[in-house]
Homo-oligomer: A and B are copies of this chain.
């Protein structure tokens, strides 16, 4: 091969947008399937089609002439992925891996078979199933949940009423529901690894993430005061899953660190992940670059941290935010902290919407936290506003 191969990317969100930066640096051409004109990634990828990721014809159009297809999200139907593979396009991650990030029931069954530590779990169909599983627990749709949607907490018998409707809808529509024990956890961790088709793998330092209402707010790299054995164990779990499931590209394994010092797998994502955004400024090779290298089966870049601490804080629209005022935040945030790294997604500020993130790195964790939190709050216009 004499020139860099074309990589098709399905989905026009910020993850595809952030792949475009290392693609430009590495001279790798991208072709985007965007869900609409002008979406986040469509602002920065020249070669683009507007279409539907559930439409095989659109998927075939974006992959025509491409060596590889990869993804901004996990919502492409498995049958379509198999059809693309049959067309001769390398689908990375492949359908047999991706199903574990699409279906929590399949994921739990497989991880259980692999002996990977998970919260106790079971598929449930009725109120009696939930009672038999035991309270407190959390109910999740096996497919389609994201950022806290499709999740119901059942802490007491009273809460059983609130899941009557999801159970009924699930039974009618054939959606499966998964019950999981409510884990007493100290904090959430994330072990992010990258794996190439030829089996090379790289593990980033394990990070701590803070979630609010199921949405990632803050990441600290590396996870402070994490037992080194537990960190190694988390990386080994992620590498095992990546290898056993034949994942190509980024695999993010979200974990609970329990009060009694164990780790349990919470969720899997097979794409660049919010808990890896710190790598853009805090690691030798960003998750976005390594995802591209991996799906092209190029040697991976070092996942090592460049700094003692890197803190990532998401910029989310607050309840009172006005559309489009984001740029007002630039002068102060940039003037206050010339070391701040800003990443915005070309999205208007709207309540609850992730529109960007900031990274702050340095020798002092408290300083990094303060700088990143201040800047994120300033961008979203929330300083002096108790709503956050």
Contact = CB atoms under 8 A, between A and B. Distances in A.
A147 interface: no
A342 interface: yes
A113 interface: no
Interface in A259-303: 280, 284-285, 293, 298-302
A25 B334 contact: no
A331 B299 contact: yes
Copies per assembly = 2
A27 B299 contact: no
A24 B29 contact: no
Interface string A298-338: 11111010100000000000000000111110110011001
B338 A301 contact: yes
B25 A20 contact: no
Contacts of A26: 330, 342, 344
A312 to B, nearest CB: 13
Contacts of A18: 24
Interface residues of A, number: 52
B298 A330 contact: yes
A142 to B, nearest CB: 35
28 contacts: A1-B328, A2-B324, A2-B327, A2-B328, A3-B327, A4-B330, A4-B344, A21-B21, A21-B24, A21-B25, A24-B44, A25-B343, A26-B342, A27-B345, A27-B356, A29-B43, A42-B46, A46-B46, A202-B338, A284-B339, A285-B338, A293-B334, A298-B330, A298-B331, A300-B334, A301-B340, A304-B339, A306-B306
